[in-house]
Structures are given as structure tokens and as C-alpha cells.
Amino acid sequence: MSRRDKRNIPMWAKLGHGKPVTRRDFLSTGIIPFAAWAVAPSLATILNPLKAYGADQCAAAGAGSFIPFITLNLSGGAGLAGQVVVKNLQGDNIKSYTKLGQGNGPGLSYNISKEFGKVDFAGTAIGGNTQGNVSKFLTGVRDPRNQNLRIAALDKSAFVWQAVASNDDTSNNPVDVTGLVLKMGLQGSKLPNLGRTDTSTGINQKPAVLPPPAPFVVGNVNDLANALGYSAALNNLSMKQKGALARVIASLSGSQVRRIGETDNATVITNLVDCAGIKNVDLIATGGGDVNPFAVGGTVTSELARIWGVNANDRTSQNATFAAMVYNGISGNASTINLNMGGYDYHDNTRTTGDTRDLEAGRVVGKILETAEMLKKPVFLFVCSDGATTSMESGTADSVWVSDRGIAGIQYMISYDPIKRPETSSTQVGGFNEGQAADGKFATANNPELAAQAVFANYAALNGKMDFLEQNRILGDAALRAQAIKFEKG
Amino acid sequence: MTETKVKKTITKEKVVRLAITGSVLAVSVVLGFNCAPFAGRQAPSEMASESPLGIEPQLSVALMSSEQILKAMISATGTESLGAPTADDELISSTYTLRSGSLPSENSLKLATGPMLISVTNLASAVCNKAVNRDVATAEAQRASRLFFKEIDFSKGLSGQSSDSVTPAFERLARNAWRRDASNAEVDAIIEFAQEFSDGANANDPQQTRLMAVSICTAVLSSIDALTY
């Protein structure tokens, strides 16, 4: 049969029934000789590239066993070391905290307040003009909606800080570890890695070691809702017709991209693209499901709105957008979630601006932990910044932030488990020296990219993936990994 | 430092300007895409090295950026606008603006994620809507002067169409968007699609014929060969 003849099939709509599509149909029409069907490859497999390539192969790529990973970047150089009571490499208090906004130190200018089981934070002030805790981050994380209620999720969360110097006020620190997290295997069932800024990482940080795929930049909740639907001139298509369109696009693209892969010997990339098209077939059919958690209604919507303090109709505020992104990350719809908050270059010779920002950061962290608790899912949260800040030297814990001071930087790693608080062998990676700066005697202290590897190593350890660290020489050798990994798989 | 967010929006005027310059771009885009990237194609063995962390090899094919995609779609369908913006132009403009956040900002094929492909499909549908409306506006008696859908009778429903009317339109679209002839398998896939599209639809509704034409065009403009160079 010539190509032209083959195409010259009867007008299908006039036939009253569809073209033969199943093996039974073809057998009945005599197109496949009966004797041949048993040994012939499935005709559906030949005709349908989706099946030929293997929708199963794409489905198998979903990796729901990894702990959801969220990064919160405080852009500008937050005074994170002014929130916890940083220690030296031996785990003891340093002699003075005057440059860290904490005055003379614990017992002298403030009382220690323990949280996350055994982590020392700067609690109520002794002297000075501070109201409440010196650490506004602590205040925010404990009580994200200012209701005089400490959230229960803290009882199942562990916290480790890491001392690391980084460059001030720049998006060029290699801190983002989402490339590694994705490489290890975390995948979203519906969405890729999400970010907030139009950068290679979705936050104002450069990738460490391995760049992630370009993130899907979420400007507001509607971006998520729109991400998985056909609209524009396709509004009037029935769901069945939309499904058929998604299938034919996946079919055409699949064969085209596989040809590229074969030519360039780069099947890993082309398989990703192929699978994206195949997954879209299901996504279009389901309309994206709960990708917009504020649209699904019921407990999910009401609880999420309560936790984040937003109206369920809010599609544009930072809290609503964060809530939707965090929901998608923790629920497994998306892979990594990168959140970015601006305004952390707050050394304006006041304490007020910094306190407000630190409180806000703490509240966001508290809301993330509460979201995980609501969903009964674990989460690993990485809080980072670019550089740090210094206070005017003072004996009291209320002195103003006056300048950048990247050598006094720290990062937070927080892990929530719905069953029990994750075990940690220590609450710190590295430490501070008597100059109130990250102590360079520890390998990661002056190397942000190595410190980022330490963060990733802790995440991998929590996931029981030590073999991935060894195979890919993360953090160099086993000795450094042993020093830097504080989280233990439960 | 305040949060920086570069908006990849494109103004309505810019879309119109793109459309006006489309005919020039049609030449430059096609020539550019056909020649340059393939000139230096390397042997597979030279491109397959992987680091321990599996950094992917370079591909000889690159994904178009968001603006390139829009230009290529307009060029392929001949939907340049020479006058004041029409409702169809408004739809293209608003769709581009709405979807710009998930259209590719760089040229790596790895950016072809699920949401990105869906955004491209939506943008393609807006461009195709204009292309189909233009062909529909040409009276049935002058069908031969249409650009793509010469064999389709838009005054009739799907029952008035056949694979013989769908296939040539698809092949013309493919030639413009993919810069090559459609393969037999691709023709079969589009006929299969037309069949699926028709099943269960109102067979006598001319609107369904228009929607099928938009969908076939959309499928062509949304597939990988239309998005790469």
C-alpha cells in the first residue's frame, strides 16, 4: 500500500465507528493474519511511541522515598549568628558575643533559651531595651502567627547550625545544593524544581558543585495553577480532546527527541524531555490535581490558609505563594523548593529592621514545619544567606546592626520527622573563634561550596544515602564527612 | 539586597512589532536555524564524556528561548500583524505574558520540563487560533488561496472532513515549523489524533472543525522539532 493510499482512509466520522486500534480489531479486519499475531510485536507498541518508549520507565523515575528539600535564602546577609548561641570548635561558648548583637553573652546579657531539644538560642535579655527574646528568629519559629502558642512541630524537629564565611551582598556564593539533591534522586510527581527568582537556582545563590535544571519560577499561586492546564485557544476543547492533544504532542515530540538522543548519544537528557511529554498526558487529564492547594477545598485548603495566615482566595501575597510552593514540595508534587526573601542586608544602624526581618524568617520556618506536620510528611530545610552582619560593639544584646561581616556567617539545617525528632550527634558543624568569626580550622569554614556539600551530606545521611556521597566524593573523604555529618537516619 | 526578579514579560507593542518584522525573521530564523548549529556537529564519541556526577554531554541541538519560540511560531504560521492589534493578537500577547515565567529563558534542552511544554502548547494555540481564523475567513470558494487548510470545509462539522483534508494541512504546517517533511509515522499520529478528537464530538458542529484545525496546528508548533534549532 502506498503512503498516499494508506492515508486515504474513509471519512472516519461517517463510519459510525472508529478505526481499528486494538489487536482484536486488526485481527477482525484481516490486517494482521491470525497466525502472525502471536509472534509479532504489539501493534499498539509500534504505533504508539509513548508505549514503545515506555510510560512505565517514566513512572518509575518518581522517587517518593526521599525527604522533601526546601531552601530558604535570606538575601542580603542576615545576622543568623545573632540568633543562636554559637560555640567554638569544642562546643563551648566563646568569650564574647559583642559583634554578634548579643552583648557579653549567655548569662550576662541574655538567658539561654533551648529549642529543638538541645540547641541554645538567645532568649530573654538581661539589661538593655530588648523586649522578649533577643533572637527574633526564635520568637517567630515558635509562634508563627503571634498567638502566644508554641507550635508542636518543634518537638519533632532537629536543628544544626554550620559556621561558614561567605561573600556579602552577592548572588555569587556557591551555596545552592538543589542540583545535588536532584541528582541523588528527589523528583516531583507533577512539577520540577521550583524557585522564586529568575536565576539558575531560583534563589539569589549560585549552584554548588552541580547546577540544577533551570527552576520553574513561581511568581504567584496562579503560576502553579496555570502550569498544568490548557487554556488560551484550547479552552473549548473537551477533556477528552485535551487528552488527545497532549498525547499527540508527546508522541510527535517523543520520536523527535529520541532521534536527537540517538544522534548525540545523550539519551539521559532526551529521556527527560520525552518523559516530560508523557507525564503531561496524565497531568492534562487530571487538570493538575492539587497543584494549587488553595483550589482543592476541604481540610487541605483551610488548614494551609490557617497555617500561613492567608485568605484561601489569596493568589499573590508572599505567604500564599510560599504556602503553595511548600505544599507542593512536601506533598511530593514538586522536587526541590527554593524560597527567597529579600531585605536581609539590614544593617541600617537600627535594631528594628533586623529584628523585623529575623522575626519574619522565623515565622516562615515555623510555617514550613507546621505544613509538614499537617501533611504528616518529613522535610529538610536549609536556611542560608549571602554574608552576614555585625553589630556595634556593646555589652548588651540590643545593639544596632552597622555593617556587613561575611566572616561571621552561619547556616541552619532543620529536619522535621512526623514520627519523632531526628537524631543528631551534635548541633553544630564547625565553630566560631574568639574573634567572633567562623573558625578556619574547620575545613568548611572559609569555603562556601564545601559548606554547601556538608549541608547536602547531612541531607543524604538522613536519607541513608552515604553511598552516593562516597561514589561522588562529596566533601572529599570519609574523615571530613564523619566530622561534618550530624544528622542520623532514624 | 532586595529580592531581584527579572520579569520576562513582553509588551503588547513588542508582540505586534515582532509580528510586523516576522517576514524578515522568517528568513533569518529559518536560515539561521538550518545552518549554523549543525555545521559543527561532533561525532557522538566526542560528546559522551560524563563526570562522576553525570554532567550531561553537549547536544548539537538547542532549545529556543521564549522570544525565539514566539518569533518562530509567528513566522511558521505567517501570522505577522501589519495593522492595529486584533483580538487574536491580544490573545497571543496575553498568553505570552501569562506564560512567560515558564517558557525557557536559556537554550538547554533540559529546560523542556512538563510545565514548560504545557506553556508552549498554550502559546502555540494562541498563534494557531490566529492562523486558523485567517484561513476560515477565506471563503470556501477561494479555499485554494488559504495558507494551510485548503482542503478543509470549515462550513461543515467533523463529519464533513477526512484524513485527506487533514493530512495536507498537517504536512504544510510541519514543513514550515519543522523545516522538513513529516514522516509517515508522524502523519499516522496526526490521523490517529484526528480520529480521537472526533470520537464523541458533535460531528455536525463546524466549530469542532475549527477547533480540530487549531489543535493540529498547535500539535505541530508544540513539538520538539519546532522548538529546537
Sign of the dihedral through C-alpha B73, B75, B79, B84? positive
Q: Is A61 exposed, middle or buried (0-12, 13-18, 19+ CB in 10 A)?
A: middle
A432 touches A105 (CB < 8 A) = no
Contact list in A for residue B117 (CB cut-off 8 A) is 249, 253, 276-277, 280
pLDDT recorded at residue B53: 59
Task: Identify any residues that bridge with A125 across adjacent strands, giving them in sequence order.
Answer: A110
Alpha helices in A120-266 (DSSP H): 136-142, 178-184, 221-227, 239-264
CA–CA dist B204, A229 (Å, integer): 27
What is the CB neighbour count within 10 angstroms for residue A388?
A: 29
**What pLDDT shows up at residue A261?**
78
Contact between B198 and B184 under an 8 Å Cβ cutoff? The reply is no
* Residue B108's pLDDT band (cuts 50, 70, 90): confident
Q: How many CB atoms lie within 10 A of CB B170?
A: 25
Burial (CB < 10 A; 0-12, 13-18, 19+), residue A11, is middle
| Cell numbers placing B9 | 514579560
- Cα Rg, chain B, nearest whole Å: 19
Chain A residue numbers with beta carbons less than 8 Å from the beta carbon of B222 are 249, 253
B217: number of Cβ within 10 Å? 30
Contact B174, B222 (CB under 8 A): no
The answer to whether B162 contacts A19, with C-beta atoms less than 8 Å apart, is no
CA distance linking residue A32 with residue A52, whole number of Å: 19
- The partner residues of A71 in beta bridges, in order of sequence, read A338, A382
How buried is A286 (Cβ within 10 angstroms: 0-12 exposed, 13-18 middle, 19+ buried)?
middle
CB atoms within 10 A of CB A25: 15
Name the residue among B171, B199, B164, B176 with its Cα closest to residue B187: B171
| Residue A204 C-alpha, separation from nearest chain B C-alpha, in angstroms | 8
Rounded Cα–Cα distance for residues A294 and A296 (Å): 6
What does the pLDDT look like over B126-172, one tens digit per residue? 999 999 999 999 998 999 999 999 999 999 999 999 999 999 999 99
Distance from CA of A127 to the nearest CA of B (A): 32
How many angstroms separate the CA of residue A199 from the nearest CA in chain B? Answer: 8
CB-CB contact of B193 with A248 (8 Å): yes
Chain A residue nearest residue B5, CA to CA: A197
Chain segment B45-103, per-residue pLDDT in tens? 333 333 355 555 566 788 898 899 999 999 999 998 778 899 999 999 999 987 776 78
Joined grid coordinates for residue A230: 490548557
Q: Work out whether strand A337-341 and strand A69-74 pair parallel, antiparallel, or are unpaired.
A: parallel
Count CA atoms within 13 Å of residue A145 on its CB side: 14
What's the confidence (pLDDT) of residue A252?
A: 95
In chain B, what are the domain boundaries?
12-40+58-227
Residue A436 near residue A443 (C-beta atoms within 8 A)? no
Contact B198 A13 (CB under 8 A): yes
The residue type at A89: L
* CA angle, B35 then B38 then B42, to 5°: 155
Distance between CA atoms of residues B94 and B145, nearest Å: 30
Asked if A69 contacts A203 with a C-beta cutoff of 8 angstroms, the reply is no
Per-residue pLDDT of A245-256, as tens digits, reads 999 999 999 889
Q: Which pairs count as long-range contacts for B32-39, CB under 8 Å and 24+ apart, including other chains? A: B32/B229, B33/B72, B33/B179, B33/B229, B34/B179, B37/B61, B37/B62, B37/B229
Instruction: Mark residue A160 as left, alpha or beta (left: phi above 0; alpha: psi -120 to 50; beta: remaining).
Output: beta
Chain centroid to CA B179:
12
* CB atoms near residue A243 (< 10 Å): 18
Residue written as cell 540547641? A119
Residue of A11, A231, A236 lying closest to B162 (CB–CB): A11
Chain B residues within an 8 Å CB radius of A246? 121
Question: B201, A260: Cβ pair inside 8 Å?
Answer: no
Size of interface A-B (CB pairs under 8 A): 263
ipTM of the complex as predicted: 0.80
Nearest to B114 by CA among A156, A285, A385: A285
- Determine the residue of chain A that is closest to B4 in CA distance: A197
pLDDT of residue A162: 98
User: Phi and psi dihedrals of A111, rounded to 5?
Assistant: -95, 145
The span from the CA of A77 to the CA of A407, in Å, is: 11
Q: What pLDDT does residue B57 have?
A: 57
Q: Across the interface, which of B110, B167, B196 has its CB nearest the CB of A7?
A: B167
Instruction: Please provide the DSSP assignment of A326-393 as one string.
Output: HHHHHHTSSS-EEEEE------SS-SHHHHHHHHHHHHHHHHHHHHHHHHT--EEEEEEESS-EEEPP
Q: How many residues does chain B have?
A: 229
Question: Is the Cβ–Cβ distance between A254 and B222 less than 8 Å?
Answer: no
| Residue whose C-alpha is closest to residue A252's, from A222, A274, A228 | A274
Q: What is the rounded average pLDDT for all residues in chain B?
A: 79
**Separation CA A455–CA A415 (nearest Å):** 12
**Beta bridge partners of residue A163, listed in sequence order:** A410
Domains of chain A, earliest start first: 3-47 (no CATH), 69-89+136-226+288-391+400-488 (3.40.720), 229-285 (no CATH)
- What residues contact residue A399 under an 8 Å CB cut-off, 6+ apart? A98, A101, A103, A351, A391, A392, A393
Question: What tens-digit pLDDT sequence spans chain A (490 residues)?
Answer: 344 444 443 344 333 344 434 333 333 333 333 233 233 333 333 333 333 334 445 644 444 589 999 999 999 999 999 999 999 999 999 999 999 999 999 999 999 999 999 999 999 999 999 999 999 999 999 999 999 999 999 999 999 999 999 999 999 999 999 999 999 999 888 888 999 998 889 999 999 999 987 788 899 998 887 778 888 899 999 999 999 999 999 999 988 988 887 776 667 677 777 788 887 888 888 777 899 999 999 999 999 999 999 999 999 999 999 999 999 999 999 999 999 999 999 999 999 999 999 999 999 999 999 999 999 999 999 999 999 999 999 999 999 999 999 999 999 999 999 999 999 999 999 999 999 999 999 999 999 999 999 999 999 999 999 999 999 999 988 999 999 999 988 7
Looking at this protein, which amino acid is placed at residue A437? A
User: HSE-up of A423 (CA within 13 Å, CB side)?
Assistant: 6
Rounded to the nearest 10 degrees, what angle do helices B22-39 and B12-20 cross at?
80
Indicate the DSSP class of residue A203. S
Bridge partners (DSSP) listed for residue A337: A70, A194
10 Å Cβ neighbour count for A24? Answer: 11
Q: Which amino acid is at A385?
A: S
With CB atoms and an 8 Å threshold, state whether B222 touches A11.
no
Q: What are phi and psi of A161, to 5 degrees?
A: -105, 155
A196: nearest Cα among A341, A367, A357, A384: A341
pLDDT of residue A58: 61
Chain B residue nearest residue A340, CA to CA: B3
What is the grid cell recorded at B193?
489524533
* Total-model pTM: 0.74
Residue of B94, B187, B223, B228 best to disrupt the A interface, most CBs of A under 10 A: B223
**Using CB atoms, which residue from B61, B199, B203 is nearest to A260?**
B61
- Helix B22-39 to helix B66-77 angle (10° resolution) is 120
DSSP code string of A380-434: EEEEEESS-EEEPP-SSTTPPEEEE-GGG-EEEEEEE-SSSPPEES-SEES-B-T
User: Could you tell me the three cell numbers for A120?
Assistant: 541554645
Q: Give the C-alpha separation, B62 to B160, whole Å.
A: 41
- Give the rounded percent of residues in chain B with a pLDDT score beyond 70: 74
In A211-266, where does DSSP find H-type helix? 221-227, 239-264
Residue A490 is predicted with a pLDDT of 74
Confidence at residue B11, expressed as pLDDT on a 0 to 100 scale? 44
Quick: pLDDT tens for A120-179. 999 999 999 999 999 999 999 999 999 999 999 999 999 999 999 999 999 999 999 999
